[in-house]
Structure 1
Amino acid sequence: MSTVSLRVPPIELETHQWHAEQDGMSSRAQLARGSGPYESAVPPKIANLQLEVPALLAADVEDAVSALVRFDNHARDRLGTSSPMLGPMSSILLRTESSSSSQIENLTVGARQLALAELNQSTSANAMSVSANVHAMEAALELADRVDRAAILTMHEKLLLGQKDWESHAGRFREQLVWIGSTGTSPRGATFVAPRYELVEDLIEDLVEFVSRDDLPVLVQVAIAHAQLETIHPFVDGNGRTGRALVHALLRGKGLVRSTTAPLSAGLLKNTNRYFEALMSYRAGDAGPICEQFAAASRFAAHSGAGLIDKLGLELDAARGALAGLRPQAMAWALLPHLVSHPVMNTELVTGLLGTSQTSALRALAQLQDAGVVVERSGYKRNRVWQHDGILAVLDGYAAELLRA
């Protein structure tokens, strides 16, 4: 339950007529019920939205911002600003965040399958979809300094190009009606019917103007921008994941989280019902619940993300200890930091990471294997893969904790 309200203009509704067409599975009675009037959303423009943030909400948001800043500093302190591990650690947090964002859409995948998907060695459709979500998040961070129409389309393109049978919709605003709930043949009775597609372009331009403002509390601005994108629902599919990628682009672009990726979706995943209820409240004219959800998710992300960093750091510390007798020039030392973001490796990946030959890559993997740091799990003579069981266990343990919560 929300404790404070933050008034914003509610959506309006416009009435249309729908004629349900036969899909090969519906009865005549179902088609008759599916035909008739329905209402679609008309979101308000928010570029010039004036907000009076209640003191209680402002304090809650400020606490959440402080937690995110502490988390970002902890990442730097734990790994060192010049450490090559800071990049990989940020990458694994990005993958963790992408997985959590996908779980909200009921797309679940283990850490090993996601890592194999990154190597193009997974047959799991879910793993490929979550891997595409990783690429969408990466695009969001790369485009953080210019969140505009093109950036939003690029995030979506990266996402849907990895989703089988949806490639033709990648990076394109929809040109059809979409709705949530009800049946596939009719919007009548749906939980939410998105705006007519003719309105999308103008609404996106308005949203871009809103996120460019610098006169609003950042986390409030991020929460409202996310809710507005979900209300516009500009794509045939992938709206939620693109909307959460947008969140990270804004957090980075506004300077809130500079060094790594806070697992914010992990916080939203703790109670998806409240998250979706908060979106509905926003559409009804109250942004308080969605701002509270983002504040709570930020605090959870900071706390759990710091714990995840510490556990992964301990795995690397143990690996360094296992390599203690190896000569300093050995390739294994150069490969070691990359285990965080790539807990499953093959020789092709290692050659790219280290800029070396396949022979040298194989030698580095053999050195790690001989020290007990990684194991070869495929059992193949060709297309072999090596993995760090400890890091995979930490990542799967984190995911399991989220689901239990």
Structure 2
Amino acid sequence: MALTPFISQDKASGELQNAVLELMQLDATLSANIPQSLRLPMIDLVRQVNSFYSNKIEGNLTPPADVLRAQENPTSENAAEDLLEIKRHIEAQRRLSAEPIDQVAICSRESIARIHRVFYQGIPAENMHIKINSDGETAFLVPGEFRTQGVRVGQHTPPSAEAMSSYWTWFERTYRLDRLHGVSPILAAAAAHHRLMWIHPFLDGNGRTGRLFTDQYLRAAGLGSYGLWTISRGFGADVEAYYGALAAADHVRKGDLDGRGELSDSGLLKFTEYFIATALEQVRYFSSLLEPRMLSQRIDNYFEMRKQGALLSTTGMELPVLRIEARDVYRRLLNYGPMERSEIRAMLSMSESFVHNLLNQMVDEGLICQEGCKPVSLRLSRHSIDFLFPALF
């Protein structure tokens, strides 16, 4: 087995090391500064963003408005397969994020096979026949089962099924996070993303499984706000650049000055620089979205336009007028967290019927959550996403 594990710290340029350090610092700042009341709604929204872009890379062109509606409606038998795929991907993220991450087991073949199974859970057996070559030949895909035959992916021929066992042993040993320190876990995340794609362990679903793995790995590597931002948004924003960077790292070694492994070290360096630059771009973008002063201004503008009845829904319908007091409720929930109805009534100094009607409208529109006797809490309405978080999709 001869693959360079990752661009080690002693071989990374000062510029690359500084980029990793900036990524870690911005990530920590984002995690510390986001209002606690906004953390869970934002994580839920980013799952939808992640699903949109990760599936877009694979040719799923479900419109953002449909992605945002996907979690509000029960699955219909007549729903388009692309939309069902989005829903499964969001649910896979939810399930995986709810499980503890082990720094040793995260890169094990069992863990990655589980990610693959979770992603494909719920797909009918009749939809699991996968086209495996240009002649139209198909094979039956078993979720979580590694391929037992050779494949070709574009210009890349992955390792044979017989050779995969030794590659897995190498992968598990190389990317254990309990043995990596400093900036190495982030540099390793970039390499592990490429190496997993290069091994191509499954007949189908390698791209989305690989990106779900990278989501898990970045969290385990110490990026505490990952989930409030997603690198897949950067990958999916320019799919050609993403595939180009992966292809550069696929190249075989170009002489003795290009490393000592099977693959090009210069190609791996290009992919690592691309990976870190993409992650840095995304954490900067999401940090700017959540910057308190600018977010507050967008909230003011949104509710002012709602008071005037000047906004449309994601389907082009005119949204109903919403009293400006809704802004005060929303802002208070954002800054201070969940509130009892009695506290809201006292804050607004309005009648019980007024508060009841206002909160009911905000619930119907997805701006707040009000369940039984639980306190009222903040939500992110799909109708407000484009306004509060511009250029998210």
Note closer, same or farther for the CA distance 1:365–1:235 as it changes in structure 2 (3 Å cut). farther
| Deviation, structure 1 residue 395 | 6.3
Partner in structure 2 of residue 192 of structure 1: 156
Note closer, same or farther for the CA distance 1:144–1:46 as it changes in structure 2 (3 Å cut). farther
Partner in structure 2 of residue 379 of structure 1: none
Partner in structure 1 of residue 173 of structure 2: 209
Q: Which one-letter code corresponds to 2:201 in the other structure?
A: P
Residue deviations 1:49-98 (CA, integer Å, cap 9, x gap): 78475452x53243244235324422441313xx3x31221222232122
Partner in structure 2 of residue 120 of structure 1: 74
Note closer, same or farther for the CA distance 1:53–1:111 as it changes in structure 2 (3 Å cut). same
Residue deviations 1:146-181 (CA, integer Å, cap 9, x gap): 302222111111212255613952121112222223
SS of equivalent to 1:263: coil
| Deviation, structure 1 residue 130 | 2.1
Note closer, same or farther for the CA distance 1:283–1:157 as it changes in structure 2 (3 Å cut). same
Residue deviations 1:95-153 (CA, integer Å, cap 9, x gap): 21222122111223234422443343451321221222223334544353230222211
Q: In the comparison of the two structures, how many residue pairs are matched?
A: 304
| Aligned mates of 1:366, 1:391 — CA distance in 2 | 23
Q: Which one-letter code corresponds to 1:120 in the other structure?
A: P
Match of 1:277 among 228, 244, 258: 244
Residue deviations 1:217-248 (CA, integer Å, cap 9, x gap): 22210111111100100011111111111112
TM-score normalised by structure 2 residue count: 0.65
Match of 2:92 among 136, 144, 148: 136
Residue deviations 1:182-213 (CA, integer Å, cap 9, x gap): xxxxxxxxx11222122223322321211103
Q: Which one-letter code corresponds to 2:282 in the other structure?
A: A
Match of 2:280 among 288, 299, 314: 299
Partner in structure 2 of residue 249 of structure 1: 216
Q: Which one-letter code corresponds to 1:295 in the other structure?
A: I
Alignment of 1:39-54 (within 5 A): 44-45=2-3, 51=8, 53-54=10-11
Residue deviations 1:287-312 (CA, integer Å, cap 9, x gap): 11110111111111112222344577
Matched, 1:329 2:340: yes
Alignment of 1:20-39 (within 5 A): none
| Aligned mates of 2:343, 2:115 — CA distance in 1 | 35
Matched, 1:100 2:67: no
Segment drifting more, 129-138 vs 389-398? 389-398
Q: Which one-letter code corresponds to 2:384 in the other structure?
A: G
| Deviation, structure 1 residue 259 | 6.1
| Deviation, structure 1 residue 283 | 2.3
Question: Does the aligned pair in 2 maintain the 1:129–1:162 contact within 8 Å?
Answer: no
Matched, 1:175 2:132: no
Matched, 1:74 2:78: no
Partner in structure 2 of residue 348 of structure 1: none
Match of 2:365 among 364, 367, 374: 374
* Structure 2 residue runs without a partner (length 5+): 130-140, 252-263, 304-321, 331-337, 345-354, 368-379
Partner in structure 1 of residue 370 of structure 2: none
SS of equivalent to 2:34: helix
Alignment of 1:218-257 (within 5 A): 218-257=185-224
SS of equivalent to 2:144: coil
Residue deviations 1:221-280 (CA, integer Å, cap 9, x gap): 011111110010001111111111111211111212346342211122333223222222
| Aligned mates of 1:97, 1:214 — CA distance in 2 | 27
TM-score normalised by structure 1 residue count: 0.64
Note closer, same or farther for the CA distance 1:64–1:140 as it changes in structure 2 (3 Å cut). farther
Question: Does the aligned pair in 2 maintain the 1:100–1:265 contact within 8 Å?
Answer: yes
Q: Percent identity?
A: 20
Note closer, same or farther for the CA distance 1:62–1:112 as it changes in structure 2 (3 Å cut). same
Q: Which one-letter code corresponds to 1:67 in the other structure?
A: L
Partner in structure 2 of residue 166 of structure 1: 128
Q: Which one-letter code corresponds to 1:269 in the other structure?
A: G
Question: Does the aligned pair in 1 maintain the 2:7–2:269 contact within 8 Å?
Answer: no
| Aligned mates of 2:147, 2:197 — CA distance in 1 | 13
| Aligned mates of 1:242, 1:259 — CA distance in 2 | 17
* Structure 1 residue runs without a partner (length 5+): 1-42, 182-190, 334-363, 377-385, 400-405
Note closer, same or farther for the CA distance 1:100–1:156 as it changes in structure 2 (3 Å cut). same
